[in-house]
Chain A
Amino acid sequence: MPALEVEGLARHFGEREALSGVSLTLAERQTLVVFGPNGAGKSTLLRILATLLRPHAGSVKVLGSSLPDEAWAARGRLGLLGHEPLLYRELTAQENLRFHARLHDVGEERVAEALEAVAISTRAAEPLRNLSRGMVQRVAVARAVLHEPELLLLDEPYSNLDPAAIELVEPLIGPSCGRTRVICSHDPGGGLAEADAVLGLRNGRVALAANANEVQPSQIAELYR
């Protein structure tokens, strides 16, 4: 069974059409990288797959559950790492992760493990507002994988991270994590290296859909022209 099955997906915000006629299929443990200029609909697609936005037309199946009717069954099996870290600035990294652990019915020991994995343990007792953006992004990575999701939805996941931090989070959200992944990226080289499949969006429509080994970087560059 594919992890994702999307057919003729459309979504609009008022008069503006954010997505139209988007179709894709992704097998389990594969990585789909979504390219496209700002406003192409990448984040909207990710939020629909995360069950946070309703599709207005078409069919969407995430981990076998049809959205929006069976969204409840997909929640808890997916992890979202978007532009916002989904963390409270006034709480510490530890308090934030404990809160998410309780929401996902995950044991307290996972909190310590996750903090250790992103090397935040020594700053775990400080409010997030005291941490740098890169550190907050590392905590956000820990939050996204805390409940061991099967599907990761990643919107420019390496933004704000330095090379050492990228190396640190690789085992959690990188190619070796063993999870199905959908990644929104603006980096043709890095994105293609991680991808099994590529989706290019322009003005909310599919401009490129192919296996990664069939795509040339120039085709991706074309999306941004």
Chain B
Amino acid sequence: MRRTVAALLRKELLVELRTLESVPGMSLFAVTTFVVFHFALNRNSVDGDLAAGILWVTLLFAAILGINRLFVADADQGGFDAFLLAPVDRSAMLIAKALTLMAYLLAFEIVAVPAFGLLLLGPSLGAAMPDLLLVLLLGDLGVAVIGTLVAALAVQTRARDLLGPLLALPLLVPIVIGGARASSPLLALGHPTAVPGRWLLTLGLYDLVFGLIAYALFDFLLED
């Protein structure tokens, strides 16, 4: 299983490095959205609830771009069939794809979060960063698992570009709520307070539940 996951992950990252279809697009989208918010709100800086809301909504919509592209090369170039012909555990694809999406999210957040700090955020990111990183990791994990599940379902339909976001958005709303509530005190003016533990727990539980659901369903999604 580990060998198969490694092979799939290596292939995914190689394809992304060659095409640069997902991470640069997600990063550009996030930065552009921050600029749009800057002018639309007519404010030089935001903090607290508003800052957390803007950050998480932007991350969510940028993630949708990555989710929509996640299985496209496999569907269009026969990668699904090649994988299904191999005598391997099919859950390897779920794990590899979720890790791939997680890597995309982390890579684009390296650009998007500092850009948010620079373009919109009032308080400095420095002090909030360690706790914010934990919140982002928990949020990313949920987005990666749900995104992989939804992308695997949507890519097999003709309306995949539409169906992916339509299925993903409602399922990802609790992550946005949890992420925003957990981040809000960290992005407040003055000394940032500690991250609320119950929202971290909510995010962790949501990740766990969807991890189990994805593990149980993924084989059926790959079946004819």
Q: Which of B5-61 contact A (CB under 8 A)?
A: 6-7, 10-11, 14-15, 18-19
- B88 interface residue, CB < 8 Å from A? yes
- A75 interface residue, CB < 8 Å from B? yes
Q: Which residues of B contact A103 (CB under 8 A)?
A: 4, 7, 82-83, 86, 88
- B114 interface residue, CB < 8 Å from A? no
- A137 interface residue, CB < 8 Å from B? no
* Contact yes or no, A104 B86, CB < 8 A: yes
Task: Give Cα A105–Cα B86 distance, bound, in whole angstroms.
Answer: 9
- A102 interface residue, CB < 8 Å from B? yes
User: Closest CB-CB distance, A126 to chain B, in whole Å?
Assistant: 12
- A100 interface residue, CB < 8 Å from B? yes
* Contact yes or no, A102 B4, CB < 8 A: yes
- B110 interface residue, CB < 8 Å from A? no
Q: Which residues of B contact A102 (CB under 8 A)?
A: 3-4, 6-7
- Count chain B CB atoms within 10 A of each CB in A52, A75, A88, A127 and give the residue with the most: A88
- Count chain B CB atoms within 10 A of each CB in A54, A76, A82, A90 and give the residue with the most: A90
Question: In chain A, what residue has the closest Cβ to B11?
Answer: A99
Given the interface contacts A88-B11, A90-B73, does A80 sit within 8 Å of B81 by beta carbon?
A: yes
- Count chain A CB atoms within 10 A of each CB in B4, B19, B77 and give the residue with the most: B77
Task: Give Cα A140–Cα B78 distance, bound, in whole angstroms.
Answer: 11
* Contact yes or no, B224 A52, CB < 8 A: yes
* Contact yes or no, B77 A89, CB < 8 A: yes
User: Closest CB-CB distance, B64 to chain A, in whole Å?
Assistant: 23
Contact-residue bracket for chain B: 20 to 34
- A214 interface residue, CB < 8 Å from B? no
Q: Which residues of B contact A75 (CB under 8 A)?
A: 84-87
- A53 interface residue, CB < 8 Å from B? yes
* Contact yes or no, A52 B11, CB < 8 A: no
User: Closest CB-CB distance, B29 to chain A, in whole Å?
Assistant: 22
- B196 interface residue, CB < 8 Å from A? no
* Contact yes or no, A91 B14, CB < 8 A: yes
* Contact yes or no, A76 B11, CB < 8 A: no
Q: Which residues of B contact A88 (CB under 8 A)?
A: 11, 15, 73, 77, 79
Given the interface contacts A52-B224, A99-B11, does A84 sit within 8 Å of B77 by beta carbon?
A: yes
Q: Count chain A residues whose beta carbon lies closer than 8 angstroms to a beta carbon of B.
A: 28
- A86 interface residue, CB < 8 Å from B? yes
Task: Give Cα A6–Cα B6 distance, bound, in whole angstroms.
Answer: 37
Q: Which of B74-130 contact A (CB under 8 A)?
A: 77-79, 81-88
User: Closest CB-CB distance, B101 to chain A, in whole Å?
Assistant: 18
Given the interface contacts A80-B85, A91-B14, A99-B7, does A85 sit within 8 Å of B78 by beta carbon?
A: yes
Q: Which residues of B contact A143 (CB under 8 A)?
A: 82
- Chain A positions 168 through 184: 1 when the CB is less than 8 Å from some CB of chain B, otherwise 0: 00000000000000000
- A51 interface residue, CB < 8 Å from B? yes
Q: Which residues of B contact A89 (CB under 8 A)?
A: 77
- Chain B positions 123 through 157: 1 when the CB is less than 8 Å from some CB of chain A, otherwise 0: 00000000000000000000000000000000000
Q: Which residues of B contact A99 (CB under 8 A)?
A: 7, 10-11
Q: Which residues of B contact A53 (CB under 8 A)?
A: 224
* Contact yes or no, A84 B86, CB < 8 A: no
Q: Which residues of B contact A78 (CB under 8 A)?
A: 85
* Contact yes or no, B224 A54, CB < 8 A: yes
* Contact yes or no, A90 B85, CB < 8 A: no
Given the interface contacts A102-B7, A103-B4, does A51 sit within 8 Å of B78 by beta carbon?
A: no
Q: Which residues of A contact B7 (CB under 8 A)?
A: 99, 102-103
Task: Give Cα A85–Cα B18 distance, bound, in whole angstroms.
Answer: 19
Task: Give Cα A222–Cα B83 distance, bound, in whole angstroms.
Answer: 38
Q: Which residues of A contact B4 (CB under 8 A)?
A: 102-103
- Chain A positions 131 through 153: 1 when the CB is less than 8 Å from some CB of chain B, otherwise 0: 00000000000010000000000
- A32 interface residue, CB < 8 Å from B? no
Given the interface contacts A75-B87, A99-B11, does A86 sit within 8 Å of B224 by beta carbon?
A: no
List the 8 closest A-B pairs by CB distance, nearest first.
A76-B87, A102-B7, A103-B86, A86-B78, A84-B78, A90-B18, A86-B82, A75-B87
Given contacts A51-B85, A76-B86, 10 further A-B contacts (CB under 8 A): A75-B85, A75-B86, A91-B11, A100-B82, A102-B3, A102-B4, A103-B88, A104-B87, A105-B3, A127-B18
